[in-house]
Amino acid sequence: MLGAAFGWWFSTQFLPPSQSGLAWALACALLSSYAWHVLDVALAMRLLHWLNFGDISRTRVGVGLWGDISDRVRRLMRSQDRAVAQRDDRFQDFLAAMQASPNGVVLLDEDLRIEWCNQSAQSHFGLDVSRDLLQHFGNLVRDPGFGAYLAAGDFERDVLMPGRRSTLAKPVRLSVHMHPYGDGRTLLLSRDVTAVEQAEAMRRDFVANVSHEIRTPLTVLSGFIETLQSLNLSDSERVQYLQLMAQQADRMQSLVSDLLTLSRLEGSPLPSAQEWVPMGPIFDQCRQEVTELSRVLWGQPQGLEFDIESGICVAGSAVELHSAMLNLIGNAVRYTPEGKNIYVHWRAQGDGSAVFEVRDEGVGIAAEHIPRLTERFYRVDRSRSRDTGGTGLGLAIVKHVTQRHGAELSIVSTPGEGSTFKVHFGQARVKIPSEPTCAA
């Protein structure tokens, strides 16, 4: 319309009357329509190029209708980019959470090839992400138990298998469970159950050992009681049997006492760090008790040498500390033959800490037994321990007491040469006052 109006006006103003104004109006109208169409196509091509290759942060692509369209597209694209960024952030958070999980996570495709795994799974199975991605999981984990589990295809339960770093000295047990999901994919979860397995084994061993330790003296007592009831014995025989029965009763009493001590240690609050215990009287009492124990076991006191520094106090429980010290010294007495010596030392260190040391010239302990000495009922020589009246719980009590007092127990031993047990009390638990009363 503007082109036609311009053509009509131009013909009437500048052309002779003989020329038709209508023709000029139509020509200008057609020319204007064509120019507008060319501009429209150019703007459309510009918008298409921007949609394919442009930057959404760019200002308006055109004017008019196409400019409005480009603005609306830009807003939609920005909104979509924000949504994609948010989804990516959530996905990264999810991956970070799975990386932080103590359980192993492996994502497998429909052919059981590894698509992704976290660090725990890499540690459990010895995987390397840069090397093992898209590798068949069954080719990398060749445990027979897991292979049978994979072949059976019954994933309603888990399977137990050794971890990649498992050794005879330090076994590692894994619980592996596969969960199918999506379109043929599989989520594999692994969990280190070594501690659980060990705790269950210790529970079974504990029940079995307690039953055995109590059954043995009960069997002896029952036999002697039956003998006293059914046979006519002389006075000397009756006295002998009663003495043997008393020994077995004492053995059961010692076992029950140690069990109660362990139970009390495990179930009671930690000893106070503000109650200072003078160690001198405790060692005096220990000296009297182990001297009597040595006389009972060997007929005469062994060479017991006490080197105790006076005036040192330890923050904690006097009853627990006495139990630990007595068990360590008594253990040395039981495993040191007559004629050999036992040395007991208690000294403050230059950094304010203190060390209790028991060194004997006994039979010694092989290196493979040392890590397990503090386990309940663990004995290197079962028959010798029973002969000397040991319950197999002494070092377990020592371990609990030292841990509850923030101390460290170390054991060094050489077979045939003897053993050295040390308990190191940290500076925070030791006081060396000018007066031996250890007043707070």
Tokens, residue 341: 């010596």
Please choose, from the candidates 294, 420, 308, the residue with its C-alpha nearest in 3D space to the C-alpha of residue 357.
Answer: 420
Asked if residue 64 and residue 124 are part of one domain, the reply reads no
Asked if residue 418 and residue 292 are part of one domain, the reply reads yes
Which of 140, 159, 192 terminates a domain? The answer is 192
Report the CATH number at residue 254: 1.10.287.130
Which of 95, 128, 155 terminates a domain? The answer is 95
Per-residue pLDDT of the chain (440 residues; tens, 9 = 90+): 666 666 556 556 555 665 556 665 666 667 766 666 666 666 666 666 666 665 655 555 555 666 666 677 777 777 887 888 888 888 788 778 888 888 999 999 999 999 999 999 999 999 998 899 999 998 999 889 999 998 888 898 999 999 888 887 788 899 999 999 988 899 999 999 988 888 887 778 777 777 777 887 888 888 888 888 888 888 888 888 888 888 888 888 888 888 888 888 887 888 888 899 999 999 999 999 988 888 888 777 678 899 999 889 999 999 999 999 999 999 898 888 888 899 999 999 988 999 999 999 988 888 888 888 888 877 776 555 455 556 778 899 999 999 999 999 999 999 988 999 999 999 999 998 654 556 54
Asked if residue 394 and residue 261 are part of one domain, the reply reads no
* Number of folded domains that form the chain: 4
Asked if residue 431 and residue 387 are part of one domain, the reply reads yes
Asked if residue 375 and residue 304 are part of one domain, the reply reads yes
Asked if residue 293 and residue 303 are part of one domain, the reply reads yes
Asked if residue 220 and residue 91 are part of one domain, the reply reads no
Supply the DSSP symbol for 272.
P
Asked if residue 252 and residue 184 are part of one domain, the reply reads no
Which of 63, 95, 127 terminates a domain? The answer is 95
Asked if residue 424 and residue 357 are part of one domain, the reply reads yes
Tokens, residue 73: 């597209």
Asked if residue 59 and residue 31 are part of one domain, the reply reads yes
Would you state the pLDDT for residue 435? 47
341-369 b/e (C-beta count within 10 Å ≥ 16 → b): ebbbbbebeeeebbbbbbbbbbbebeeee
Residues 6 or more apart whose CB falls under 8 angstroms from that of 246 comprise none
Asked if residue 394 and residue 279 are part of one domain, the reply reads yes
pLDDT in tens, 107-144: 999 999 999 999 999 999 999 988 999 999 989 998 89
Report the CATH number at residue 328: 3.30.565.10
Asked if residue 158 and residue 183 are part of one domain, the reply reads yes
Domain that holds residue 155: 101-192
pLDDT in tens, 129-187: 889 999 999 899 988 999 999 888 889 899 999 988 888 778 889 999 999 998 889 99
